[in-house]
Amino acid sequence: MFKDPTQTEMMEKIKHGVRNLVSSFEEVNTDALIAIHWYASQYHGGQDSNLYSVLSNSPYNPKHRTFRDDMEEYPIVNIMYRILEARFGKAEGSTYWVEVSNIEYDMGDEIIDYILPATEEMIFRDYIQEEELQELITNELTNSSGFTVKSFTYTKK
């Protein structure tokens, strides 16, 4: 069941969840605020919800950063975010991770100056149908690489 927690409730669950991972919570307080921001962003239930209020008053401003940027750059934020999902649940229409592997690009005669990733992780909403998911993955891979995608495999996490 999904709950609509306050910022205080989320902060307490994160403190409890990471107590064995950090020497003092103060050193990761900013990370907790980032995790709370993204959780509220993903799962708020509209203007009357606690999570919407948390998001509206969040001291964290991602500017041009994405959820994925923060999850990759700050592993502790990812752990904290997952703690929030485990403790408070996911709302209907929530998100899930997709690991994309065995990516094959059609590069034509291009000379590549960089190595394209062999796997990618992406996040999608639960209500997306399989056919649409494949198209979205293809578009994301094409946009991020600049090359046409020939094939790939994916696994929902």
Q: Is residue 92 predicted with pLDDT exceeding 90?
A: no
Q: What pLDDT shows up at residue 13?
A: 93
What's the number of CA atoms in the CB half-sphere (13 Å) around residue 29?
6
Q: What is the mean pLDDT of the chain?
A: 80
Q: Where are the domains of the chain?
A: 7-88, 95-156
CA distance 154 to 126: 15
Tokens of 143: 């946009």
Tokens of 146: 């600049």
Reported as a single tens digit per residue, the pLDDT across 14-63 is: 998 888 888 888 888 999 999 999 999 888 888 889 999 999 999 999 88
